Amino acid sequence: MKLLLATLALSAPLFAHHSFAAEFDEKKPVTLRGVVTRYDWTNPHVYFYVDVKEAGGAITNWGVEFQSPSELRRAGWSRDSLKVGDTVTVEGSAARDGSKTAGGKSVVLGSGKRLAPLGTITPITQAPKPAPHWPNGHIRLGPEPGQKGYWASPSVASLVESTAGNIRMNADGLLTNIADAAKVAPFQPWAKGLYEYRQKNFLKDDPSASCMPPGGPRQFQIPNGVRFLEDPDRGRIFVFSGGGNRNWRLIYLDGRTLPSGDDITPTYYGYSTGVWQGDTLTITSVAFNERFWFSNGGLPHTESLKLTEHITRPDSNVLKYDVTVDDAGAYTRPWNSGFTLQWVPDDMGEYFCDDSNRDPVHLADHPK
């Protein structure tokens, strides 16, 4: 068995689902020029190989890894954007382990055509309209009848206290300056230490790398989007995650009370009840377990975590999300944060975190 796993690892230089920050160093840019020898448009990451001529004339085959198909599709890519035999110039980040792999950022074809870089958001072309409403007067959080759409492209990478000011970080929530950690939230000493540990280790222990569900606000921060399915007749809303293995969260709007004491069974998404206050949906959630990160960047929490979320739709193209984090186990006081999401008038792409895993040995490094 050990020999088989070792063989698999050697034959697969590209990793399975993982934190890009843990595998690739943004401070070490790399430029590759060569010919595409393989291109896989697959979950959880799109990747291709390039034959690159080295200075001495030798040919080295490099692996280039991008994010998921749904993320690249929003940037204008498609399954046919690259073909075996294409001459390309790739800009990316070098692998931290020194292997011939790179985290891709942009691609220029031999024709001069530039494929949109990772993180590019196709701008909304339709003019904003008033937010649609249900017959009962409540705002629709999902698509209107006969239409399609979901929410994606959060305006911030990670939760940061609203009063913290501008704190620079990358798309994974990795701080540009670790000294800014104390500004992110009102941490208790142990929580600040854990947050800094996760940051200094480039988020390599992120439970999402082992395909754990994105609970809490992180459900709205995942790059693959989120969709609401509203069921007003039964007083409930389903929130479907585009970045997990068909994960979903249930919000009750039927007036029931939150569980307490022996009634609590902690889960990844907790137990949520909501009420409409004008055009704002206010949701209170408790009963979270500690096996996930409730925001990008590794913010810690305990089972005492209580979230009060406020969701509204100021127009057809924008969703506004605000949250109060109340966790006396990890923070010295409650604190607030928020961001916006962009409407994507399309079907939410299907994404499976554990598809095409090419390094089962590497996954053993992550918490189960």
Instruction: Kindly report the backbone phi and psi dihedral angles of residue 230, in degrees, each rounded to the nearest multiple of 5, phi listed first.
Output: -95, 140
Query: Which residue's entry shows tokens 């040919």?
Result: 59
Residue 173 and residue 214 in contact, taking contact as beta carbons nearer than 8 Å = no
Q: For the residues 328-334, what does the mean pLDDT come to?
A: 98
Enter the DSSP assignment of 211: T
User: CB under 8 Å to 154, separation ≥6 — which residues?
Assistant: 220, 221, 339, 340, 341
- Higher pLDDT pick, 256 / 123: 256
DSSP-assigned beta bridge partners for residue 61: 51
Q: How far apart are CA 42 and CA 55, in angstroms?
A: 32
In this prediction, residue 60 carries a pLDDT of 93
What are the Cα distances from residue 193, in Å, to 78, 172, 179, 332, 364? 42, 19, 12, 14, 24
In this prediction, residue 5 carries a pLDDT of 35
Q: How far apart are CA 70 and CA 225, in angstroms?
A: 9
Residue 42 and residue 355 in contact, taking contact as beta carbons nearer than 8 Å = yes
Find the angle CA(276)-CA(281)-CA(283) to the nearest 5 degrees.
105
Query: Which residue's entry shows tokens 């196709």?
Result: 122
Please tell me whether the overall predicted TM-score, pTM, comes out greater than 0.85 for this model.
no
Q: How many CB atoms lie within 10 A of CB 352?
A: 15
Return the closest-CA partner of residue 64 out of 90, 96, 29: 90
Enter the DSSP assignment of 255: -
Q: Which two tokens stand for residue 337?
A: 């944060």
SS3 state of residue 284: strand
Q: For the residues 152-168, what does the mean pLDDT come to?
A: 94
Q: How far apart are CA 337 and CA 186, in angstroms?
A: 12
In this prediction, residue 3 carries a pLDDT of 36
Q: How far apart are CA 171 and CA 309, in angstroms?
A: 22
Q: Which two tokens stand for residue 211?
A: 């395909």
Q: For the chain, give the mean pLDDT.
A: 87
In this prediction, residue 288 carries a pLDDT of 96
Name residue 284's amino acid.
T
Residue 33 and residue 5 in contact, taking contact as beta carbons nearer than 8 Å = no
- Tens digits of per-residue pLDDT, 52-101? 998 888 999 999 998 888 778 877 888 899 999 999 999 999 999 999 99
pLDDT bucket at 171, cuts 50 / 70 / 90: confident
SS3 state of residue 103: strand
- Tens digits of per-residue pLDDT, 103-121? 888 899 999 998 866 555 5
In this prediction, residue 68 carries a pLDDT of 81
Residue 317 and residue 124 in contact, taking contact as beta carbons nearer than 8 Å = yes
In this prediction, residue 64 carries a pLDDT of 92
Q: How far apart are CA 170 and CA 314, in angstroms?
A: 27
The percent of residues in the chain predicted with pLDDT above 70, rounded, is 88
In this prediction, residue 359 carries a pLDDT of 44
The percent of residues in the chain predicted with pLDDT above 90, rounded, is 63
In this prediction, residue 16 carries a pLDDT of 44
Does residue 11 carry a pLDDT above 80? no
